[in-house]
Amino acid sequence: MHSPVLVLKDSLKRESGTKVHHANIQASKAVADIIRTTLGPRSMLKMLLDASGGIVVTNDGNAILRELDVAHPAAKSMIELSRTQDEEVGDGTTSVIVLAGEMLHVAEEFINKNYHPTVICRAYNKALEDAVAVLDTIAMPIDANDLLGLVKSCIGTKFTSQFGDLLADLAIDATTTVGVDLGQGLREVDIKKYIKVEKVPGGQLEDSRVLKGVMFNKDVVAPGKMRRKIVNPRIILLDSPLEYKKGENQTNAELVKEEDWGVMLKIEEDYIENLCMQIVKFKPDLVITEKGLSDLACHYLSKAGVSAIRRLRKTDNNRIAKACGAVIVNRPDELQESDVGTGAGLFEVKKIGDEFFAFIVDCKDPKACTVLLRGASKDLLNEVERNLQDAMSVARNIIKNPKLVPGGGATELTVSATLKQKSSSIEGIEKWPYEAAAIAFEAIPRTLAQNCGVNVIRTMTALQGKHANGENAWIGIDGNTGAISDMKEGKIWDAYNVKAQTFKTAIEAACMLLRIDDIVSGIKKKQAPGSGQAPSKPQIETEADADSEQILHD
């Protein structure tokens, strides 16, 4: 007999075959169970402590998973799912995880029966194609003006649903403001660049509003001398410093005569005066620069009755440019009349809480806006901001692709019923996993029912019965009461591309995880010889001892 050959090092762990499949499925189910209770209007909140001791209270699937520190590789890829979903469509982060977890759960029994994973994947992909086809048939087009009900149903599941229409209105206002027509009926909404969310603790949530313009927390440079309220201001935006340029590297000037010193200072002053005169020539009321502004320049400007703001963030400057129609100028001597922004109706500096904020509002046709959020505590504001983010994404999706599918689990039930019927016509071994995928779609209405606290089995059978004969695709669960109702009447809708993306992401991820049949772990970086694994144990103990000694000292 030959002696056994060692290929892998001792320190490597290798798991292969069905063991891996089971481990992956367990891990994914664990992740799905963490956020299962946060689906639907009756959802619970999760409280997370992050590393620095801050608290996050949220029920946004992505926000929860982002904070988790997960060891298992399969669970990590599940967490990636919700992130993709959040970046792509901004909503449905929870449903993606629940659905993917369920898909893997139903695949488990096939693996026990020694089905080959590729067979299961083939069936799943077939199911996915058919599911998207079903979505197309039940989707109904909608005019983009009917946004409110839609956005409301998407925020209905969030913590802020108690403030009802307030957030939905904010989101719709903001997204319709910054929407840009690309022609051919397409609209592009850039949430990240042109919608700024300013959180100011204090006041009440009802005071939140969308400004027809921008705000930023800066005050004018010389508060006593410059005007703080200007109606119909002419705004000039600069990207250059209004101060004397120093030499690039250290420059030494040798002066022979005393008067030369005066001459040099005079040159500096003239330079700045020249700069300011070029600007004042255009009779602006407000000059904003991203860079510094020296005292002297400040003096010249305030003498001319111009208010000035310095050291503004570049992103804020872009927003102001979009809002009032100004052009950001890099050199004062290149100013033209067309660069002056006249679109704003009012500039004023207000004190909110204990900081000064500059408002440039009442713009004629703003292409950028600021959402001002007020609220009692920082945690509350963070949660509201996350919900607002979701709401704006939904509004953006509808503006881009105005198609609706029913919410409340109705879509999933319809898809499930259709796939069940189709499964009988599928030949060969793929029929069973296909049918299982159909059943997996029911995870979402089932979870909704669980979170409402109704009798899950009865509700589900009633719903399946209603959908099996295919009479009405819009029957689902009313998430608040758990009653079975028509989603059209309850105005419970989801955006089409959110649903499609959810299905695609979930099934593709399930396939990917099923295809893994080998995990090799413990691949370490090359260590210095002699520093093996052995000494790690006692070290830990000594550290703990040292800690306790320290405490005694105090």
The set of catalytic residues is 60, 93-94, 390
CA atoms within 13 A on the CB side of 263: 7
Q: Which residues pair with 214 in a beta bridge?
A: 360
Provide the H-helix boundaries in 515-535: none
501-525 burial: b if 16+ Cβ within 10 Å, else e = bbbbbbbbbbbebbebeebeeeeee
| Beta pairing class for 286-289 and 229-231 | unpaired
User: Residue 517 gets which letter from DSSP?
Assistant: -
Any residues with CB less than 8 A from the CB of 471 and at least 6 apart, and which? none
| Closest by Cα among 411, 538, 520 to 7 | 520
> What is the distance, to the nearest Å, from the Cα of residue 228 to the centroid of all Cα atoms in its chain?
35
Cα separations in angstroms, 411 against 142, 470, 473: 17, 12, 7
Contact 467, 134 (CB under 8 A): no
Kindly state the greatest CA–CA separation across the chain. Answer: 103
Contact 445, 477 (CB under 8 A): yes
Burial of 73 (0-12, 13-18, 19+ CB in 10 A): middle
| Cβ atoms within 10 Å, residue 290 | 18
User: Residue 371 gets which letter from DSSP?
Assistant: E
Contact 342, 236 (CB under 8 A): no
Length, in residues, of the chain: 554
Quick one: three-class SS letters along 22-89? HHHHHHHHHHHHHHHCCCCCCCCCEEEECCCCCEEEECCHHHHHHHCCCCCHHHHHHHHHHHHHHHHC
Distance CA 466, CA 108 (A): 29
Distance CA 480, CA 484 (A): 11
Q: 105: which 2 tokens?
A: 């759960």
Cα separations in angstroms, 172 against 150, 396, 523: 10, 9, 50
Distance CA 548, CA 554 (A): 11
> What is the distance, to the nearest Å, from the Cα of residue 506 to the centroid of all Cα atoms in its chain?
19
Q: What are phi and psi of 471, to 5 degrees?
A: -70, -45
> What is the distance, to the nearest Å, from the Cα of residue 292 to the centroid of all Cα atoms in its chain?
33
Q: Helix, strand or coil for residue 180?
A: strand
Contact 154, 468 (CB under 8 A): no
